[in-house]
Amino acid sequence: MRRREFIVGVGGATASALWPIAARAQQTKKIPVVGVLWHAENAEGEIGRIEALRRGLEDFGRIEGKNIKIIDTYAAEQYERFDTNAAALVALPVDLLFAHTQPAAMAAHRATDKIPIVFTWVPDPVQAGLVASLNRPGGNITGFSNVAVDLSGKKLQMMQEVTGSPHLGFLANGNDANIASRSAQALKSAAASLEIELQVIQVREAGEIDHAFDEFARQKLGGVITQPDALFFNERKHIAGLAIERRMATLGHVEELADDGFLMTFGPSGVLMIRHAASYVDKILGGSAPGELPVELPTKIDLVINNKTANALGLAIPPGLLIAAERVVG
């Protein structure tokens, strides 16, 4: 049969005769590929967040291995690996980059101005230069910030209320000097108004955390607040253990830290944020322009308290904080 005759023949075929052809076309339709930049060393370190992203996508009918492919990469808290991983994903190429934490988002932003990017857990995306504004991000990027308001004063008040100490510490990640400096300055300003003496120590890697806590203990601080940062998330069990050994309270940024031994955490849920961010992945893969989707801010801040840690430190949690807590662990 000549090609012209074949085309005419198909045009006159019945719907039932055409369904095998349509089915094959459906099978060969390109499945979108999402490349993910995680901050931990491996899947175990991101297990709750990996699950949140998958479940979030399933909420919109996007099932991994069926109608969407997901490629996870891990940076092990080595900032240069974010760039390496982002470049590798762009080279494949993927259809969308999902970047968790600001270092991951910055690496994705450097790697491409064409492939859509959805970020989560970025404190100030405008100041970081990722977006033009929160309402209209512009370009190929949008996402979810973990900061709605400055929580510095509230964190210091809670720590002072629990510990009774006017001497507190702040542990910052010096790998991003800009974020560390701004976070420290916000806490220092709040500390001055509350007549709290704040000692700031920056570290750049996990191996420096022990020395930092030795110095905090030498200065007889009542407690330590950690910067909202992936390094301290990954080292949460280590930090909690060091603090309990040195009889210091700890306050972190996300609930998993309290689950693993911090005295308290105060901040939005990272897991819920990632699950919600899957809605933007779905919209963009469906044709929406990322630059026209507003950056979303957290609407709920959760206090989580670890009562077991409080008992280990010999601290009594004030009733008002227990009532305000979203959860009490132990």
Same domain, 92 and 175: no
In a shared domain, residues 237 and 283: no
pTM for the whole structure? 0.85
pLDDT band, residue 79 (cuts 50/70/90)? confident
Q: Are residues 192 and 286 in the same domain?
A: no
Which residues touch 76 (CB under 8 Å, ≥6 apart)?
40, 41, 42
pLDDT higher than 60, residue 10: no
Cis previous bond, 318, omega within 30: no
93 and 165: one domain? no
The predicted pLDDT at position 211 comes to 98
- Give me the pLDDT at residue 178, please: 81
Tell whether 173 and 307 lie within a shared domain.
yes
Mean pLDDT for 92-113 is 97
The answer to whether residues 135 and 78 belong to one domain is yes
Give 28's pLDDT tier (boundaries 50, 70, 90). Answer: low
Pair 277, 194 in one domain: no
- Tally the domains of the chain: 2
For the cut 70, the answer to whether the pLDDT of residue 1 exceeds it is no
Q: How confident is the model at residue 8 (pLDDT cuts 50, 70, 90)?
A: very low
pLDDT for 158: 97
* Assigned domain for 4 exists: no
pLDDT tens for 184-216 read 999 999 999 999 999 999 999 999 999 999 999
Write the CA distances from 36 to 44, 53, 86, integer angstroms. 15, 10, 9
Whether the pLDDT of residue 49 is over 70: the answer is yes
Question: Can you tell me the distance from the alpha carbon of 196 to that of 216, in angstroms, rounded to the nearest whole number?
Answer: 15
Residue 60 lies in a domain: yes
Amino acid sitting at position 57? L
Angle at 315 between CA 311 and CA 317, to 5 degrees: 100
Indicate the residue type of 150.
D
From CA 159, how far away is CA 263, in angstroms rounded?
Answer: 10
241-281 pLDDT tens trace? 999 999 999 999 999 999 999 999 999 999 999 999 999 99
Within 10 A of 84 (CB to CB), how many other CB atoms are there?
A: 14
Query: Checking DSSP bridges between strand 197-203 and strand 167-173, what pairing results, if any?
Result: parallel
User: Cα 155 vs. chain centroid, distance in angstroms?
Assistant: 20
Residues 254 and 321 in one domain: yes
pLDDT tens for residues 117-172? 999 999 899 999 999 999 999 999 999 999 867 899 999 999 999 999 999 999 99
Q: Residues 224, 306: one domain? A: yes
Pick the residue with more confidence: 308 or 24? 308
pLDDT tier at 18, thresholds 50, 70, 90: very low
Q: How many angstroms separate the CA atoms of 28 and 130, rounded? A: 36
Residues 112 and 168 in one domain: no
Domain that holds residue 215: 152-267+301-329
pLDDT on residue 149: 72
- Please compute the mean of the pLDDT values over residues 225-235 and round it to a whole number: 92
Residue 20 pLDDT > 80, yes or no?
A: no
% of residues, the chain, pLDDT over 90: 83
- CATH number of the domain within which 115 lies: 3.40.50.2300
Average pLDDT, the chain: 91
